[in-house]
């Protein structure tokens, strides 16, 4: 088992990158009895290979000029971007649904009025209780 710092050294990335990967669920890790993160070396190597696959999809920039990717890599990049877009669209739909639920709840609370013919009594003041 590796600590986040050991995993960062082995992967040649910063400890923050490892912690972000753990936080976002990309890198599986467990806490031990002392509440320290422990990373299995096999999980680290799988995360590195997944990370390398995504990094290889990106275009290479040389002297501020983009080198075009071969056609099959373009297809992979398109697939990755479409998957990201689908996830973001789902997130937007969830947020819109939540917004509509909150709006309906607020409107319902605004409609709740005192029934006709009844006048709400004013709230009691705290100093009236102190006099007693």
pLDDT at 78: 85
Answer whether residue 117 is part of any domain: no
pLDDT score, position 100? 94
Does some domain include residue 39?
yes
Residue 93 shares a structural domain with residue 49? no
Q: What is the pLDDT along the chain (132 residues), one digit of tens a residue?
A: 888 899 888 888 888 888 988 888 888 888 888 888 899 888 888 888 777 655 444 444 444 556 555 667 778 888 888 888 988 999 999 999 999 999 999 888 887 765 555 666 666 666 666 665
Pairwise CA distance, residues 3 & 9, whole Å: 10
Q: What CATH number has the domain bearing residue 8?
A: 1.10.1660.10
Q: Do 43 and 86 have their domain in common? A: no
Q: Considering its fold, how many domains does the chain have in total?
A: 2
- From 32, 57, 82, give the residue that closes a domain: 57
Give me the domain span that covers residue 79.
69-111
Does residue 27 lie within any of the structural domains? Answer: yes
Burial class (CB in 10 A: 0-12, 13-18, 19+), 48: middle
């Amino acid at each position: 088992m590796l600590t986040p710092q050991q995993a960062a050294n082995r992967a040649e990335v910063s400890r923050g990158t490892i912690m972000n990967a753990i936080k976002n669920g990309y890198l599986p890790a467990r806490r031990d009895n002392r509440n320290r993160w422990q990373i299995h070396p096999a999980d680290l190597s799988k995360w590195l290979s997944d990370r390398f696959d995504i990094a290889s999809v990106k275009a290479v920039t040389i002297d501020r000029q983009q080198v075009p990717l071969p056609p099959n890599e373009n297809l992979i990049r398109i697939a990755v971007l479409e998957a990201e877009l689908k996830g973001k669209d789902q997130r937007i739909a969830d947020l819109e649904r939540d917004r509509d639920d909150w709006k309906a709840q607020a409107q319902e609370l605004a409609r709740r009025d005192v029934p006709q013919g009844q006048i709400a009594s004013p709230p009691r003041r705290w100093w009236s209780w102190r006099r007693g």
